[in-house]
Amino acid sequence: METNFGIIDWLIVAGYLGATVLIALKVRNSESGLADFLVAGRGIRTSLGVATMVGSELGLVTVVYSAQKGFTGGLAALHIPLVAGIVTLLVGWTGFIVGPLRRAGVMTIPEYYEQRFGRRIRVFGGMLLAFAGILNMGLFLKAGSIFVTALTGLESAVAVKWVMTGLIALVLVYVVSGGMVAVVITDYIQFVVLSAGLLISCVLAVRSVGWAEVVAAVETVHDRAGFDPFATGGFGADYVIWMIFTAGLVSCALWPTAVARACSAESEAVVRRLYMLSSIGFVIRFLIPNLLGICALAYAVSEPAMAARFLPGGAPAGSEETLAALPVFLGQILPAGLIGLVAAGMLAAFMSTHDSYLLCWSSVLVQDVVAPLRRREMTAKQRLLLIRILIVLIGGFLLIWSLWYPLQQDLWDYMAVTGAVYFSGAFVVLVGGLYTRRASPLGAGLALAAGSCAALGLAPLQQALGLDALLASFGWSLDGETAGLTSVALATTGMVIGSMVRPVTRPGPGHPARAGEAS
């Protein structure tokens, strides 16, 4: 489809990406050890912490999946940014989970598992975390490539593959080179660029279609479900509860890339301020893309070519197709020059997410799986080398997975389900470990194992196992939110039963009784 993306826009994008890589290469010399590479020497203060946390979490994939949710869910999708902001504010106010973790002085969540429950739980938890995390970002490349090719007018299967390869290569260069120091600095720059680009795009998007037309389009396509998330045929109460947990609590207090900022903070007081201030950013990171997706819906309703592609029969098209609705919309309403700035901001967002995630999962594998299993202590130099090797290997896997996996649900729902493989059990283990005395290693292990059942919420896995057909024979179905909430309940049950069968005998250093905390 037609786009306003031109030569000047290509120059803007190329100049920005080149500058980003040069910055990452330059700051490499400022790192002096493993702590610098992984948590920036624990010297992040409030203002920089807020920018880098929001910059990391406001990635291109966030824009794409949030816009898709706005397109397929209408104005009712705005419940997601609302709960995200409220829960993040409460976490900052109370210090729930993140405060005790910073006090413990750990660099990763599985490191706390060992303090509280022993090395076996650390290794098991680290393996599960890395597996879920890598799987969770498995479609980031596909989403980013679809956005770039749709925005620039280069849409074709071959173009998408080449863009995927180029993007992951670019990210690998500066993550391997710079570590967390590079991540923090580039996230700060990317936060500024992306914020400006998104705000301008949102204003122009609303002006181009008109707010009255937006409301009318939502009513035409989605009826009452487009306004009320609890309406029949809409999101439903179980989905809203699932969002309070995932978009709210998990995104800020359990997801390792966000927790890494808490571990990198200067003090626990900074952690709390960081989260309270970041609550605004957690609202915006969902809200603006949601609105852009809703504007794209209104534009598609009024444009026959857009309607034929994205609203066949008057209903939203398939999951992979609707990912392209926002960039096609932006490519037609933004003028040359401005569209280059937006593209640079979006690619900045893509890189800021990938750098944090790649660094996080590779460090978890080294710090929490490989190192604890070795008989001899690994030197800092050996750990850094292995982390860099794993970053490259994970990047290769992401490229293959993006090309292979068939997306059969909205991208946000895919990410919530794959993330739940880790966080359903992790939530129970962290709450049990940090706030109760009775939680035991057996209970923690059972909770982590039970939480992984959330993977059954993936449609292709259900088809591969024949589970969808079995459930259909009883008139049932298993959606992502049901699988996720059920896995949390199973993890809680596992923790309770395991802790009763084999209670704690020797409290570790992370035990509340040892720390003087109340049960």
Q: Which domains does the chain have, with CATH numbers?
A: 7-28+47-405 (1.20.1730.10)
Per-residue pLDDT of the chain in tens (519 residues, 90 and over written 9): 678 888 898 898 888 777 766 766 665 554 444 444 444 444 445 455 555 555 555 678 888 999 999 999 999 999 999 999 999 999 989 989 988 888 888 877 888 999 899 999 999 999 999 999 899 888 888 888 888 899 888 877 788 888 888 888 877 876 676 554 555 556 666 667 777 777 888 889 999 999 999 999 999 999 999 999 999 888 999 999 999 999 889 888 888 777 776 776 777 888 888 888 888 878 888 898 999 999 999 999 999 999 999 999 899 998 889 999 999 999 999 888 888 888 887 887 777 677 778 877 888 898 889 988 887 888 878 888 888 899 889 989 988 998 888 888 899 999 999 999 999 999 999 999 999 989 999 999 999 999 999 999 998 899 888 988 888 888 888 888 999 999 999 999 999 999 999 987 766 666 776 654 443
Alpha carbons 6 and 294: distance in angstroms, whole number:
26
Is the pTM of the predicted complex or chain greater than 0.75?
yes
Helix (H, G, I), strand (E, B) or coil at 44: strand
Q: Please check whether residue 339 is in contact with residue 330, taking contact to mean a CB–CB distance below 8 angstroms.
A: yes
End-to-end Cα distance, the chain: 61
Alpha carbons 54 and 66: distance in angstroms, whole number:
15
Paired tokens of 154:
């280069």
Q: What is the rounded (10 degree) CA torsion for 403, 409, 414, 416?
A: 170
Burial pattern 165-174, b for ≥16 Cβ within 10 A else e, equals eebbebbbeb
Residue 5, φ and ψ in degrees, nearest 5 = -65, 125
Helix (H, G, I), strand (E, B) or coil at 265: strand
Residue 415, φ and ψ in degrees, nearest 5 = -70, -40
